[in-house]
Structure 1
Amino acid sequence: MNGEVKVPRHPSRAATVVRAVRDPAPGAEPVAIVGMACRYPGGISSPERLWEFVSEGRYGIGGLVREALAPGPRQRRMLLAATREALARARIPAAVLAGGRTGMFSGVTSGSDREGGSVYSYLPGLAADMAVERSSSLVAMHRAGQALRRGDCALALVGGIADTGIGVLVMARLSDARRNGHAILALVRSSAVNQDGTSRGPSQKWVIRQALGSAGLSTRDIDVAEGLGDPVELRALLATYGQGRAGGEPLWLGSIKPNIGHTQAACGIAGVLKMVQAMRCGVLPRTLDVAAAPDRADWSAGGVELLTETRAWPAGDHPRRAAVSSFGVCGTNAHVILEQAPAPDAHPSTTAFPPHTVLTAA
């Protein structure tokens, strides 16, 4: 992990965006997602395009992103382009990254040649790569949330990058996002990470319960889960979210993988992007090719049902909430709980900035 590099502060209009957090102690404050960008198979070049692709039930399996991501400088250029776009969408000047108060967390494949450092290592500040196969981008998201709540950074970039896709999130503490006038796309209520060791099933249940406990939520507070992996994952969902739902709605279960394939280190962020868009639109899109899935688990063990058809997602007695899982082949499990954005404040801040594109790679 790179230490913080002392560099001259950029002019104050940029530095205002990442003012230091006054209370660095860990707490229950949610983290806000304020910007997103992506590139995925099928010509998906934006979160809006990804939502169209999923909601229309289209396929893009087997292709690479338009510019095949080779390890090294080209990978950095692709991540830079997506990062610049995510910042512009958040109306944050890219020049703010020169101030060294931004945390940069990337999920990468374990075989990537990162030239001895993070794929974000050309920028000052806190930078780290997570290389735990398919769990990489959600582990990066978890680490970013921890760093924001501790006050290690005031803004966080989370990237998932592989030769099959790339996704980037811009995250900030909710209080900072509100103070700086950012449009809040969704909240990260909590996240959890653990390692399977030699017992996969219990660890996947534990990581779900840990995320729920950190958020102060019950299983009935979650409407939908994004994942649909192997039978071990299905059993973990049935044993956790499938319990305590008698007389209520089941947990709806879906996956973006049939649409775009398994995008390796970028698959966790793909699920996050899908669920953020679903919460904003109030729709749960159907999952493709799940006819055989009921044979892979005992569905009578809990109140979980597959999204075989598109469903409306109305606002109920609690905000829309979604769980996103990445239970990795290497044994690392990550679980994130998302919540729809709160209503805008009656008197929002007016310190938002127009987008800039002054960031350059080393």
Structure 2
Amino acid sequence: MGGKHVRSAEAPAGEPVAVIGLGCRLPGAHGPDRLWRLLTEAIDAVREVPADRFDIDAYYAPRPAPPGRTDSRWGGFVDQVAEFDAEFFGVPADEAAHLDPQQRLLLMTAWEALEDAGQLPDRLAGSRTAVYVGQSHTDYWDLQAGRLAGLGLPTLTGSQQRAMTAGRLSYAFDLRGASVTVDSAQSSAGVAVHLAAQGLRAGDADLALVAGVNLVLSPTPAVLFGQAGVLAADGRCKFGDAGADGFVRSDGIVVAVLKPLSAALADGDRVRAVLLGSGVSNDGRAKPSLTAPSVTGQVAAMRAAYRAAGIAPSEVDYVEAHGTGTRIDQVELAALTEVLGTDRPAGRPCLVGSIKTNIGHTEAAAGLAGLVKTVLCLEHATVPPSLHHRVPHPDVDWARVPLLVPDTSRPLPGRDGRHLAAVNGQSISGTNTHLVLASASPRPPTPAPVPGQTHTLVLSARDPVGLRALAEAYAVFLEPGGAGRTAALRDICHSTNDRRVRHPHQLAVSGTSHAELGGRLRDHLRGERPTGVGAPPPARPSVDPAARLVSLPLRPWRTSSHWLDVAAPPTPVPVS
């Protein structure tokens, strides 16, 4: 081999990868903080199809829906998918009109993820930042394809060519690393995470944006799934339950920002969790049919992930399952038992749950929806309940398997101050994924803030309307009961002033306490200009070198609608 080192398949994959930023738009939850509330409060976000999507009754006309086949009325839906801040991203209005809402929401969610990571987009321009996007469906193109009049290249690049979803993000932020749209059906986002981590470890990129996108804009897939008998009659994913009878389709736009762990620590980034290793496999013909699940295929992905992570599967205490609430569950639980049950200490079952029980199946985005939930579980050392699990499925030997589906929030066990968890995924294509994550190491203590020290908070937006909305969001953030009350003022000001883009319209307030800053923002919103409020300094204000990144309020987008007339039902499929 000429002295060239060849890594054994049994060897660890290399340096861990840090998750330094998250952004999401999921049913009932815009942003990770809202998602955590939804999960811990056991909220079911599935609902009937909103009026601005499609008319399922018109779709079935002139023939009625078959008895009992009302499952296509349900789904997990993100609000206002038609809206897009095209001006913010420099997209002309005529081009925005042809832009798939998956691309629109991806741009805005990616910006939010970068803000969560404290990465300034203008400083990423021209950098070796890679983009990997999991995407499977192109409903927006399908709805336009029959109306060739008025369509052209903007339609082709805006909705028909899936490769443009990743390319759009790279172009918008001027990112020069790999730009790839991944389609392995329901495991697309999980595969995208695996490829992004591999690229970072190989030195192909310094930073990676990895995303999953899925929007339910057409009833056709749900109707066909319903005819195949794989949708739940009540529109609920009942993972591991005796009443499990299918899944429900849902929207999801999720973005994670990944960076080599050593680089993240050196740059002072906030590490939300650490990806230790991952594995991908395909079932091949180790199953009775093309679309059937395979224990053998899933076990292969799991074992590869734990070899790469360099840990024993028995060390993991929580698995975010693919968990659709279909016959696939029994196969997945059998695979998890085979891998995680080996050498597992007695009396220490592995918790296993599914975010799909809260929000439905986000399909191509499912792996990242599960990753966000798992990162939040690691951060809070808590596993929220998995919904709709009332009677354990009789085809699973629960007395033997070392798995437990929690019906209430439970503490996540840890070892030596570290918590370990995993995200499992599979797909109709036979491609399986498994991601192994660890909680971030505790950050070393820093000197306590100086009592009575004055801090300056600088807010900015592209226009006065956005600035006012941002000031309102920060006033709530800083008031009693607000999320900002748990963070030091120096950390809040550092995150806002040094790790977010400065836009033309700016506001600065100064104060010595959360209440003082919040009060001055309220005074400004009322039109008053007390001492401590004024034009921001020309340069970024100096901050305490011990300051750290913290989570901040989401950007209030100033959106406008660019929606084609897609409400008319497409040609019905035959109803059996």
- Normalising to structure 2: TM-score of the pair? 0.55
> Could you tell me which residue of structure 2 aligns to residue 132 of structure 1?
184
Q: Please list the CA deviations of residues 4-28 of structure 1 after superposition, one character each: whole Å capped at 9, or x if unmatched.
A: xxxxxxxxxxxxxxxxxxxxxx952
* Number of the residue aligned with 1:206: 300
Matched, 1:55 2:154: no
Matched AA of 2:78:
V
Q: Which of 108, 115, 127 is the aligned partner of 1:81?
A: 108
User: 1:356 maps to which residue?
Assistant: 501
Tell me if structure 1 keeps the 8 A contact 2:23–2:113.
yes
Would you say the 8 A contact 2:23–2:31 is kept in 1?
Answer: yes
> 1:248: how far off?
4.2
Q: Contact 1:193–1:332 (CA<8 Å) still a contact in 2?
A: yes
SS at match of 2:422: strand
Measured in 2, the distance between the counterparts of 1:55 and 1:347 equals: 31
Q: Which of 1 and 2 has greater Rg?
A: 2
| 2:343 counterpart of 1:244 | yes
Comparing 148-157 with 264-273, greater Cα deviation is found at: 264-273
Do the aligned residues in 2 keep the contact of 1:251 with 1:303 (CA within 8 Å)? yes
Counterpart CA distance in 1 for 2:420 and 2:345 is: 19
What RMSD in Å do the two structures reach over aligned CA positions? 2.4
Q: Which runs of 5+ in 1 are unaligned?
A: 1-25
Q: 1:321 to 1:118 in 2, by over 3 A?
A: farther
Does the CA contact (< 8 Å) of 2:102 and 2:253 recur in 1? Answer: no
Q: 2:260 aligns with which of 153, 165, 173?
A: 173
Alignment of 1:200-279 (within 5 A): 200-227=294-321, 228-229=323-324, 230-279=329-378
SS of equivalent residue, structure 2 residue 186:
helix
Are 1:334 and 2:433 an aligned pair? yes
Q: Is the 8 A contact 1:88 1:357 kept in 2?
A: no
1:26-65 paired onto structure 2 within 5 Å: 27-42=13-28, 44-61=29-46, 62-65=75-78
Q: Matched residues in 1 for 2:285 and 2:417: separation?
A: 37
Counterpart of 2:499, as a letter, is: P
CA gap 1:102/1:280 in 2 versus in 1, 3 angstroms: same
Deviations 1:280-326 (A, max 9, x none): 11211111112244323223443111112221224433511111011
Separation in 2 of the partners of 1:226 and 1:27? 22
CA contact (8 A) 1:94 1:357 kept: no
Q: Does 1:291 align with 2:390?
A: yes
Deviation, structure 1 residue 346: 6.3
Secondary structure of 2:340 counterpart:
coil
Pair 277,357 (structure 1): closer, same or farther in 2 beyond 3 Å? farther
Q: Secondary structure at the match of 1:240?
A: helix
Per-residue CA deviations over 1:39-82 (Å, capped at 9, x if unaligned) read 0112x101010010011000111232113379944322211100
Which amino acid in 2 is paired with 1:206? A
Where 1:202 maps in the other structure, the secondary structure is helix
1:357 deviates by: 7.2
Deviation at 1:220, TM superposition (A): 1.8
CA deviation vs aligned residue, 1:106-155 (integer Å, no higher than 9, x gap): 01114464536331213242100111111011100000000000010000
For the residues of structure 2 that align with 1:35 and 1:250, how far apart are their CA atoms? 30
Aligned AA (1:64): F
211-220 vs 147-156, greater mean Cα deviation? 211-220
The 8 Å contact of residues 59 and 260 in structure 1, kept in 2 or not, is answered as yes
* Distance change (3 Å), C-alpha of 1:99 and 1:345: farther
Q: State the distance in 1 between where 2:395 and 2:184 align.
A: 25
Shift of 1:189: 0.6
- C-alpha separation in 2, matches of 1:47 and 1:296: 35
Provide the residue aligned with 2:81 in structure 1.
68
**Helix, strand or coil for the counterpart of 1:59?**
coil
Identity across the alignment (%): 34
What code does the residue aligned with 2:77 have?
L
Q: How big is the shift at 1:279?
A: 1.2
- Per-residue deviation at 1:345? 4.6
Distance in 2, matches of 1:45 and 1:144, equals 24
- What is the one-letter code of the residue matched to 1:144? A
Q: Secondary structure at the match of 1:156?
A: strand
Q: 1:65 to 1:99 in 2, by over 3 A?
A: same
Amino acid aligned to 2:500 = P
Contact 2:13 2:277 in 1 (8 A): no
Change (3 A) 1:108 1:282: same
Secondary structure in 2 aligned to 1:144? Answer: helix
What's the CA shift for 1:242?
Answer: 2.1
Quote the Cα distance in structure 2 between the aligned partners of 1:31 and 1:251.
24
Shift of 1:356: 1.8
Q: Which amino acid aligns with 2:273?
A: A
Stretch of structure 1 that moved more, 285-294 or 218-227: 285-294
Q: Highest relative contact order (Cα 8 Å, sep 6+), 1 or 2?
A: 1
SS of residue in 2 equivalent to 1:159? strand
| Structure 1 pair 74–310 and aligned structure 2 pair: CA distance change class (3 A) | closer
Structure 2, unaligned stretches of length 5 or more? 1-11, 47-74, 83-96, 140-158, 216-250, 287-293, 448-490, 504-576
